[in-house]
Structure 1
């Protein structure tokens, strides 16, 4: 099915530069005047209108970017076959125009048709790209059995080469997306498909054992069970659809019985896990970093990656360490000079569920929303595939165009660096200290540069049946993340 959508997005670059300061001043004036209670209702309406304009202007495209805009044609459910005969389905967004365009691929286990996948795909297509959004093997519309990580290298390779041969493709393929969608990029890259020319992994890991399934040797139970449960929902519905025969139904009145499904065959208890999430049992069976994990660990394959990459992370993201390791690892060990010199790193203020000006209890200001992710992806591929001289064009003689850009908390502004870690940074060792009650509600623990000598050890009783909640820090969307007020949610058990 094809759908044509007209696009009329204006170029905000000059408007953004001329209006930003005026709008900020006007917002401050309105906020200051709201102390007059009789005018609050009117002022709130005016403020909402101002903030709406403010949001459009401040999130407008930035940098030097190709200005031509295209209407978009959408093709839904386009099939392709993998090397082992499994059919995967994609939605394709392409410019309504003659000619050939670069391809940007997103491979997702979370449903290719949802808004967070479709909206950026459409936006990027208006800028002169063919965007392919695909359900990975065993998920939603695609055939096959779902098993995390196992098929992504081969399926990614096959999809990239298929996408490069699409009628509107110019043969250059890039990838985008975050979390597991970022993992599909890394796992595709280690297979080095000939037409993959760049990737843009966001908030993703470098090792699916430590840093994903386990943390410091301990099973990351809350993450593993939450993620597995979410994934198993679609697996269950696929199982039901496969084992349901509507022809067995017998309409009766009153409508109290529909024998369309053999409920006795539904898996239950431990069998349900084996049926719906067998990989979870494999994770438990491999607590150590063994061959099971090494086969698809990116850290074991940095030297196989041949292409440039823009790595985007968040200071409060659960996979931050992996984002940094991916940048450093490919830069040091990439298979080609292009790969080693072509790594870029952007670390924003944000967590796994997105980026924003407020994380946890802390407001980080306007700079925190300076780089909307979709705009960054467009700029990256405009530079990589179209030769745009924007912020990604490295110029060692100036502070602009450096390969690393980080958000500096406290100063609440972005800073560019020549590398990560910054050359001026010095590792500093801090030591845990306690006055004997660091494990209490109002604990007296602290960090110090001085090594501890003789201090009373603190003890903590952990009960898996009654776990303490995680408060703040680097987390996932299901938890409050970021900088929160210090202190546990309830008294510790000592």
Structure 2
């Protein structure tokens, strides 16, 4: 295995040595760099495997190395400098296991190895931990698998994000930066193309693995396999990350009763920076500006030293409040139903229908003009006729929601196959609507049915004077592929039909996870939750 030493990097704490051009044999050549503290000595190793170019992680790896870790950064099979064929999500368990054993055998490694990564690299870390022994696993905003990223847990296909990711990174050795955005700008109707399986032809880019994405099935027995692990885990997620559910699931499923598992959820998107993607959204609270790198280093040192208290612990930021919740289970909130017929619920206020009383509980879901998904958090679109819209009166006192809201519906459709969408927003005194959570489920047939639409997890303090808005619709496009409402598969369908929908308000409710009198921690106490 060859390598070249690039030299010592300047740093605040200590110089580092970067050795590039190494090759790990795993049936093919996996291009690998090692960044470690300068000089002799043995150190715990972090293994970070990425499809986004190991060169992009050099600064991050230097930071870890200055804190006493040897970092193994590797291009996954078929990407950038690594040989082989790029087949997303296919080879990461085996290649990860080989890389861990290679790292453990190096003279600069003290025998302890941490599987580490964010997004796709978090998937690599999880698969590595399942395939071989590691001493700790640190995963951020995990994209846990092919099928798991392609669809919601309810089976509804994610369209826009997968089209963007596959166009940029799929079936190519490096990437196609800006290609998808340019095509979308030139062709605004791009994602309306039918059938969805033929979308690469409209994109003008060869994506032979596109059908494999949609044919993928969820990983079998994943919960049971994770439960069998005894490796310490830190799962870091964002309250505005589309894969938030998996950050929480990992924490809930990982290890037995005595396994130290930690969860950190902040007000972040998938980039772990901030939820502020447009003007007028919630300002970041000082209490939520944390030094994530310092927390991760402290947790990793404690995990490798065996100092973590057994069992689960979590720190979750309370949006619009100055603090964090310390929890040992999720969700912590009590489910409180709020009827959709205008009757006051247990919270002391009503969620009343808007519009014409004769049509307030009925709409037509037309896939030719689908109910739109919101880009960002603030909904600036005008009211739509293709949904049932319910809005509360102003809250008389603050309310903390912590957990997963749900719409419990008695609902009607005249179509043989339907999607049901529920979107919950907070409407401020200025009239702006900030999306709190959205959920979509599929599978109810024609006629009256009981439908439960689970929305995404939230942790937010609603101020007195705010109002809640619930919208019930039949589509959520382009975030999700349109249901043709003919009974055909949304991925192969070429014909669309409208469907008449109706809600029975007397037998339907919005179920809110209300947390009474929460005690919030200041940020300087996060260390005791995460690393003790």
Query: Normalising to structure 2: TM-score of the pair?
Result: 0.59
Q: 2:300 aligns with which of 363, 381, 401?
A: 381
1:185 partner SS: helix
- Structure with higher helix content: 1
User: What is the match of residue 156 of structure 1?
Assistant: 96
Counterparts in 2 of 1:121 and 1:342: CA distance versus 1, 3 Å: same
Q: 1:236 Cα deviation (Å)?
A: 7.6
1:135 and 2:39 correspond: no
Counterparts in 2 of 1:99 and 1:220: CA distance versus 1, 3 Å: same
Q: 1:218 Cα deviation (Å)?
A: 1.7
User: What is the match of residue 294 of structure 1?
Assistant: 219
1:278 and 2:208 correspond: yes
User: What is the match of residue 172 of structure 2?
Assistant: 234
Counterparts in 2 of 1:341 and 1:233: CA distance versus 1, 3 Å: closer
1:394 and 2:313 correspond: no
User: What is the match of residue 79 of structure 1?
Assistant: 23
The superposition leaves residues 183-242 of structure 1 with CA deviations (integer Å, 9 ceiling, x where unpaired) of: 111111111x13x1111110114564355434532210101111101113733889xxxx
1:364 and 2:284 correspond: yes
Counterparts in 2 of 1:270 and 1:98: CA distance versus 1, 3 Å: closer
Q: 1:405 Cα deviation (Å)?
A: 0.8
Q: Distance in 2 between matches of 1:327 and 1:404?
A: 9
Matches within 5 A, 1:307-456: 307-330=231-254, 334=255, 340-356=258-274, 358=276, 360=278, 361-372=281-292, 374-386=293-305, 393-394=308-309, 403-422=313-332, 425-430=333-338, 456=361
Q: 1:349 Cα deviation (Å)?
A: 1.0
Q: 2:375 aligns with which of 471, 476, 486?
A: 471
Q: 1:487 Cα deviation (Å)?
A: 8.5
1:166 and 2:106 correspond: yes
2:147 partner SS: coil
Verify the 8 A CA contact 1:404 1:416 in the aligned structure 2: yes
Q: Distance in 1 between matches of 2:8 and 2:101?
A: 27
User: What is the match of residue 462 of structure 1?
Assistant: 367
- Structure with higher strand content: 2
Number of matched pairs: 352
User: What is the match of residue 109 of structure 1?
Assistant: 51
Q: Distance in 2 between matches of 1:237 and 1:344?
A: 34
1:468 partner SS: coil
Counterparts in 2 of 1:237 and 1:343: CA distance versus 1, 3 Å: closer
Verify the 8 A CA contact 2:285 2:321 in the aligned structure 1: no
Larger radius of gyration: 1
Counterparts in 2 of 1:73 and 1:430: CA distance versus 1, 3 Å: farther
Q: Distance in 2 between matches of 1:304 and 1:275?
A: 42
Gaps of 5+ in 1: 10-68, 239-267, 287-291, 397-401, 435-444, 449-453, 475-481
Q: Distance in 1 between matches of 2:282 and 2:200?
A: 43
Q: 1:468 Cα deviation (Å)?
A: 3.1
Q: Distance in 2 between matches of 1:326 and 1:269?
A: 32
Q: 1:458 Cα deviation (Å)?
A: 2.2
Q: Distance in 1 between matches of 2:17 and 2:426?
A: 43
2:163 partner SS: helix
Q: Distance in 1 between matches of 2:9 and 2:20?
A: 17
Once superposed, what is the RMSD of the aligned Cα atoms?
3.7
Q: 1:463 Cα deviation (Å)?
A: 2.5
Counterparts in 2 of 1:107 and 1:237: CA distance versus 1, 3 Å: closer
Gaps of 5+ in 2: 177-197, 343-349, 354-358, 379-424, 436-472, 476-497, 499-532
Verify the 8 A CA contact 1:109 1:181 in the aligned structure 2: yes
Q: Distance in 1 between matches of 2:82 and 2:215?
A: 28
